[in-house]
Structure 1
Amino acid sequence: MGENLLRIDSLNVEYPGKGFRAKPFRALTDINIAIGQGETLGLVGESGSGKTTLGRAVLGLAPVTAGSITFEGNDISHASRKQRRKLSRDLQVVFQDPYTSLNPSLEIGDILAEPLGVQGVGKAEARKRVGELLDQVGLPSDAASRLPREFSGGQRQRVAIARALALSPKLIVCDEPVSALDLTTQARVLDLFLQIQKDTGVSYLFVSHDLDVVRHISHRVAVMYRGEIVEQGEAGEVTVTPEHPYTQRLLLASPVPDPDRQEQRRANRHRLLAEQREQDLQAGVAA
């Protein structure tokens, strides 16, 4: 992998508490990660772990209260709206729900041309680029004149990926981009992400709750639990022989076809959950 494209150091994110004199809610605590050029970092954790908040912080959608986010050597922790608009050429996002992230009243061609127009690309050049994008994500050229509702979930996600690719970004934040798709479509879209990376050298921050998904697509994996990164390393190590009990629980939560193995995994997961509850109880007493 190349030099670090994105670097996050000692990042904290806090939201104001609800109610008079309520304490702020800390969503992220001392996050340290880096993503190289052409690399995928899989960010995995259960709902509420803070993984989506980290992606939002990179995109400027969550408040950075401490630490720094550096992109291509420039601190973007508190970038202005004007700076963010300029950053959008190199930093893009693919959201979880491909339908709600697309304007239902616009034809696909107009959806893909929109970010190009914002950056000052002429209409003729934009039309040519739209054709290239549709080809890149495996959609027919006549898709440009159709509406989002005319496509399946997997096809709409391909449109969302094409829109993210429109400006040839260097990093794409992928926020649960396949979780709303069936397993067969998931595999096809993941393979598309891999092919695009091979062809363009784009980097991904790939957010998911599914350890199997991040194993398939990631070079390295960071595991989040209660707003902290509890384990990170090479994907083959973290997703196959994890060290932290929380990552072990995530691994054991993935189903396997063998009933006996599945029963053993379930028992091991219950044991780890019981140990975690005991630790939480002891921590509460100590506090």
Structure 2
Amino acid sequence: MSETDTSAPLLEAKNVVVEFPMKGFRKAPFRVLHGVSLDIHPGETVGLVGESGSGKTTIGRAILGLVEPAAGTITFDGQDITRLHRKERRKLSDSIQVVFQDPYTSLNPTMTVGDILSEPLLVKADLKGSARTRIRELLDQVGLPSGAVDKFPREFSGGQRQRVAIARALALSPRLVVCDEPVSALDLSTQARVLDLFIEIQERTGVAYLFVSHDLSVVRHISHRVAVMYKGNIVEYGDGDQVTSEPVHPYTQKLLMSAPVANPVRQRERRIERHTMLAASSKEGHN
């Protein structure tokens, strides 16, 4: 990806702590995020990568207002959005949208594509009259034919359904889209096409992405900068090419060793290197 935007951050999270209550009398809450800080500039993609349970999805949910931080602040375009009331959060949906992981469950199966895309438009008085035109624009943006408007999600492939989900997220022309594992449910060839679509849309509209993934090769393809999460902490954060090819932190190095490569000889070498690294880590842990 190209160099990052040097303007003021569009979104900034500072020392965000998220805790979930535990069952049982007087049990201390479970801390998911331990003071996470990151920023996203206009038109930039920040990849957030880590294994399952690392807390990467939780920071996305905090940005979307789906979980409330116990400490820290989240600002968007200079406004503190850490603990907005529901009405204020609804207004913010014009500017911050989300694409979820599973295109098979994120779309209402009883609604046509036209109904799905018109839903966010019809709640905006100034967009009602132009909803039909906007829907055609959205379908064109994500590479779907205009005839898709009368079809149901079940009539499309996984990649096409995810294109519909992307179109829905773009309906109100947001400035930031939180992408929560948006290609993990797709096959490799479809993944590549959807990732290219995200890049094309960003180049055309200037939208920013927080791109959450467990796959280092995916975030390498799309991200300007990459943050690596491990057990609720960001352990490495920097230029996307550098972090995904020459990482400094041992955990990122393990993720890189786990990523598949097309060359079988190099893949075997990586597997050996990873086993050696894991054995060394285990030995250190016992000392």
Given the two structures, how large is their TM-score scaled by the length of structure 2? 0.95
CA distance in 2, matches of 1:64, 1:281: 35
* CA deviation string 1:123-177 (max 9, x = no partner): 4311111111001111010111110000000000000000000000000000000
RMSD between aligned alpha carbons?
Answer: 1.2
* Counterpart in the other structure of 1:267: 272
* Counterpart in the other structure of 1:189: 194
* Counterpart in the other structure of 1:73: 78
CA distance in 1, matches of 2:134, 2:39: 31
* Of 86, 90, 96, the match for 2:91: 86
Deviation of 1:121 (Å): 4.1
* CA deviation string 1:47-92 (max 9, x = no partner): 1110001100100111200100000001111011001100000000
* Counterpart in the other structure of 2:155: 150
- Whether 1:16 and 2:24 are equivalent positions in the alignment is no
Change (3 A) 1:182 1:113: same
SS in 2 for 1:29: strand
Change (3 A) 1:128 1:30: same
- Whether 1:233 and 2:238 are equivalent positions in the alignment is yes
* Of 124, 133, 138, the match for 1:128: 133
- Whether 1:111 and 2:116 are equivalent positions in the alignment is yes
CA distance in 1, matches of 2:26, 2:273: 42
* Counterpart in the other structure of 1:163: 168
1:15–1:63 Cα contact (<8 Å) kept? no
Change (3 A) 1:106 1:220: same
Q: Which amino acid aligns with 2:197?
A: L
CA distance in 2, matches of 1:201, 1:113: 23
CA distance in 2, matches of 1:273, 1:63: 35
Moved more, 47-56 or 121-130: 121-130
Q: Which amino acid aligns with 1:213?
A: V
Q: Which amino acid aligns with 2:231?
A: R
Mapping for residues 217-228 of structure 1, pairs under 5 Å: 217-228=222-233
Q: Percent identity?
A: 64
CA distance in 1, matches of 2:230, 2:146: 43
Given the two structures, how large is their TM-score scaled by the length of structure 1? 0.95
CA distance in 1, matches of 2:128, 2:264: 58
Q: Which amino acid aligns with 2:152?
A: L
Moved more, 64-73 or 254-263: 254-263
- Whether 1:102 and 2:107 are equivalent positions in the alignment is yes
* CA deviation string 1:18-42 (max 9, x = no partner): 2222110000011110000000000
* Counterpart in the other structure of 2:34: 29
Runs of 4+ in 1 over 6 A off after TM superposition: none
CA distance in 2, matches of 1:124, 1:76: 31
* CA deviation string 1:215-256 (max 9, x = no partner): 000000000000100001000100000000100010000122
Change (3 A) 1:63 1:273: farther
* Counterpart in the other structure of 2:64: 59
SS in 2 for 1:164: helix
Change (3 A) 1:98 1:75: same
Unaligned runs of 5+ in 1: 283-287
How many aligned residue pairs are there?
282
Change (3 A) 1:32 1:152: same
CA distance in 2, matches of 1:281, 1:91: 46
CA distance in 1, matches of 2:222, 2:94: 24
Change (3 A) 1:217 1:14: same
1:41–1:222 Cα contact (<8 Å) kept? yes
* CA deviation string 1:169-210 (max 9, x = no partner): 000000000000011111110000000000000000000011
Moved more, 20-29 or 222-231: 20-29
Deviation of 1:122 (Å): 4.9
CA distance in 1, matches of 2:264, 2:135: 48
SS in 2 for 1:116: helix
SS in 2 for 1:114: helix
Deviation of 1:260 (Å): 2.9
